[in-house]
Amino acid sequence: MRTKRFVFTIIPLALCALLNACSAEDGADGATGPQGEQGLPGADGQDGQDGTDGQDGTANVFSSGWFEIDTWDTDLADFKFHRIPNLNLTEFQIENDLILVYRRYRPTPTLTQVATLPVAVYSASGDLELLLTNRVQGNGLFIQIQAFGRNVAGNEYLPPETQFRYIIIEPDPTSDKNNTPNFFKMSYEEVIAYLGLHP
């Protein structure tokens, strides 16, 4: 009888001691185990659809409005030239840039002709009579007239019938040079439309 009482006393005491020894708090984390082997790579996804081609990069364009030459800087009977004011070409890379100069001729209010310089004028017999050109000298852009075998009147190629305009195009380094148009072969209207300029 004493043995049974001892057993019944010991078992509850052991259970209490065991429950008191367990804590609700976690113990300290053990050391990190070694990394498992890397899984096999998955199959490549399908290629996405090609996007639409973007527009060609727009070059940096510098354009004047239409301006008049009131007097020639040099005014000889067969040679005249005028430096375009307020234009300093040191701000541009002349060896790479394209310079277009246009002459607008309005002999009447209903007739307008625009031509890219140089403009050559021939006599009835087919001889070169006059050459209207632009040239770069130093840091300036000049418009000049050279006559051959005749004189040029002092008011010839001056307003109100004649105006000029220049456009300087810096090439876009990101564009394909093979796709760059030949602006000299384009009409004035085509150039203006291509560059998005006001006529």
- State the Cα–Cα distance between residues 189 and 192, nearest whole angstrom: 5
Q: Are 164 and 101 in contact (CB under 8 A)?
A: yes
Q: How far is CA 175 from CA 85, 121, 170, in A?
A: 32, 37, 12
| Tokens found for residue 83 | 């430096």
Closest CA to 158 of 79, 100, 74, 71: 71
Reported as a single tens digit per residue, the pLDDT across 125-171 is: 999 999 999 999 999 999 999 999 899 987 888 888 999 999 999 98
Per-residue pLDDT tens over the stretch 69-108? 999 999 999 999 999 999 999 888 878 899 999 999 998 8
Max CA-CA distance within the chain? 152
pLDDT of res. 91: 84
pTM over 0.85: no
The CA distance from 142 to 28, in Å, is 88
Three-state DSSP at 134 gives strand
